[in-house]
Amino acid sequence: MSLLNEGRSFSSFDREAPTNPLANLYKCKDGRSIQLMHLQPDPYWRPLARVMGMDDIVDDPRFSEMKARAENSVELVRIMDEKFASKTADEWDAIFREFELDFIYAKVQAIEELDQDVQVVANNYITDFEHPVLGGVKMCNHPNIYSETPAGIWREAPELGQHTEEILIDELGYDWDDIGELQNEGAIL
């Protein structure tokens, strides 16, 4: 988009001077963050500015349309940083959810929160597994769930050397004397 609209080649993202301040990450009062993701931001600018209490800049020509916001992004990000820092992520989430327009945003989650995430739970991304040594553990499930050929965690990973003898005898044609020699040499467990 930068190349097509501004003649600039792609560069690394600069959170403090983005091309689109309405597709940016903002830190809240509690240290958590909100990620806005309005890729076509013009329809969202006025309602977002109003719901965030930025009535004084809603009609400011520096921010009234996407091109102007891009040219003045450093100032707008500074203003929005201050606003987001005035409330917790949960408070902003509640404010955005009450508004009639569906804002495109998400609370950025800490890794510790993922096992309670509504979508993680609904999609069974984390599963309970009974490990023979560790007992009950939670594990990441298979990333793709299919209706006809379900995937999942069926058993634990093998212990070190657990299948060595089986593979040497059944697959490679070794006998027990060969295995004894390999064990004596320390080549296998």
Return the pLDDT at 155.
Answer: 74
3-state secondary structure of 25: strand
Give the model's confidence band at 3: pLDDT under 50 very low, under 70 low, under 90 confident, else very high.
low
Domain boundaries, the chain: 2-108, 123-157, 159-189
Q: How far apart are CA 151 and CA 119, in angstroms?
A: 18
Mean pLDDT of the chain: 89
pTM (2 decimals)?
0.67
Give the model's confidence band at 147: pLDDT under 50 very low, under 70 low, under 90 confident, else very high.
confident
Task: Transcribe 110-152 into DSSP letters.
Answer: PGGGGGG-HHHHHTT-EEEEEETTTEEEEEEPPS---SSS---
What is the percent of the chain with per-residue pLDDT over 70, rounded to a whole number?
Answer: 94
Stretch (H or E) spanning 107: strand 105-107
Q: Could you say which of 1.10.40.60, 3.40.50.300, 3.40.228.10, 3.30.1540.10 is the CATH number of the domain covering 2-108?
A: 3.30.1540.10
Radius of gyration of the chain (CA): 27
